[in-house]
Amino acid sequence: MRIAVDAMGGDFAPAVVIEAVADALREIPDVEILLVGHTEKLAYHLQKERLKESSRLHYVHAEEVVEMGEPSTNAIRSKRHSSITVAAELGAKGQADGVISAGHTGAAVAATKVKLRMAPGVDRPAIAALMPAVGGHFILVDAGANTDCVPLNLAQFAVMGELYAQLIFGIERPRIGLLSVGGEDVKGNALTKETFKILSKMPINFIGNVEGHDLFDRTADVVICDGFTGNVVLKSSESLASAIGTWLKEALTKDAFRQIGALLAKNAFHDLKAISNFEEYGGAPLLGINGVCIIGHGASTPKAVKNAIRVANDFAKHSLPAKITDRIRECHVAVGDIPMNTPNAKA
């Protein structure tokens, strides 16, 4: 598989990206990498990692970068030669089997949506974030690609999440929950109430509404919501995990006895940190586009980017877009099956 990697994307790019590429080439034998970025700015880091001579590494020049503070539409309007746009074009032309970026999330969504286009029947893409939970993980869809949604979108997110859980994690009948403010179908806003009606009629394992306190008990394998809500959940969870680590460190260093106890429990704390560490997951797939795109965390380390390459390589082998198209048609939630002028629809 050939994966296009946005070398300029991320808070610590290109250094961490190139280090990750070196690790990926050593550890993932069946992957080829198209490294997309400003070749002059990459030269020093390539020499440092001794990557110039690798037969599985190819270089694609991209003159521009979409900076974090810029509008996401710049990826397809004023900066058509940006690294993420060029990477998406490689996917659209069939020269790459997958695209990854740890840069501007909105730019990655915009570029891949325009260049790769949507899978047939799909209205909007969704970010599927893997979240830690008791006894495993759950998949949060959408984690930030769409701030405003209509019920059709959430119904399609349910199908995307179902297939992700089945194909990548081997869950035969994933439990799908709708994030809301109460367990009953009459609880929630206009969007969740209408979505509940649609999901109840679909041939999926819909378990009903789930609330915030249900998430980390792994009540559901897949939790769906609009991207505004999902992104708040995602970033609040990351912040809370970081805060808990700080609180533990402060509490366990107050006196010598606690420090001794902390030292004895050092391995347990390492295991706890790994559970909530985004590095282990690499990145979140952007589901619903006619191709493969993995979006990494802005603060991605070399380990995180390497794992994102691994995830993209795995996804590319599953032909997921075609499976999504077939499944949404089977569930009667393809574009045109349900009116779009439902709650929260934009004019």
CATH number of the domain where residue 99 is located:
3.40.718.10
Indicate if 262 and 134 belong to the same structural domain.
yes
Q: How far apart are CA 332 and CA 65, in angstroms?
A: 40
Indicate if 110 and 217 belong to the same structural domain.
no
Rg (CA), the chain: 21
**251 or 4, which is more confident:** 4
Residue 255 lies in domain: 126-277+325-330
Give 117's DSSP letter.
-
Band (pLDDT 50/70/90 cuts) for residue 347 is: very low
Indicate if 85 and 153 belong to the same structural domain.
no
Indicate if 102 and 172 belong to the same structural domain.
no
Q: How far apart are CA 1 and CA 96, in angstroms?
A: 8
298 within domain boundaries: no
- 81-84 long-range contacts (CB < 8 A, ≥24 apart) are 82/8, 82/107, 82/111, 83/6, 83/7, 83/8, 83/9, 83/36, 83/37, 83/38, 84/6, 84/9, 84/108, 84/111
What tens digit of pLDDT does each residue of 24-58 get? 999 999 999 999 999 888 888 888 877 766 789 99
Query: In this structure, are residues 26 and 310 in contact, taking their beta carbons and an 8 Å threshold?
Result: no
Q: E strand or H helix at 210, and its extent?
A: strand 206-210
Q: How far apart are CA 336 and CA 177, in angstroms?
A: 24
Mean pLDDT of the chain: 88
Q: Choose the weakest-confidence range: 86-95, 164-173, 226-235, 277-286.
A: 277-286
Indicate if 45 and 165 belong to the same structural domain.
no
Percent of the chain with pLDDT over 70: 93
Indicate if 109 and 191 belong to the same structural domain.
no
Indicate if 170 and 268 belong to the same structural domain.
yes
44 within domain boundaries: yes
What tens digit of pLDDT does each residue of 158-178 get? 999 999 999 888 999 999 999
Indicate if 50 and 104 belong to the same structural domain.
yes
Would you state the pLDDT for residue 320?
87
Indicate if 154 and 236 belong to the same structural domain.
yes
Average pLDDT in the 176-186 region?
Answer: 90
Task: Choose one of 116, 138, 170: the last residue of a domain.
Answer: 116
Domains of the chain: total: 2
Give the DSSP per-residue string, 120-179: TT----EEEEEEEETTEEEEEE-SSS-SS--HHHHHHHHHHHHHHHHHHH--SS--EEEE
What tens digit of pLDDT does each residue of 65-76 get? 998 888 888 888
- Please, which residues bridge with residue 34 across strands? 4, 58
Two tokens, residue 302: 């070399």
21 within domain boundaries: yes
142 within domain boundaries: yes
Q: How far apart are CA 144 and CA 235, in angstroms?
A: 10
Query: In this structure, are residues 9 and 83 in contact, taking their beta carbons and an 8 Å threshold?
Result: yes
Would you state the pLDDT for residue 254?
83
Indicate if 180 and 265 belong to the same structural domain.
yes
Indicate if 78 and 21 belong to the same structural domain.
yes
25 within domain boundaries: yes
Query: In this structure, are residues 21 and 35 in contact, taking their beta carbons and an 8 Å threshold?
Result: yes
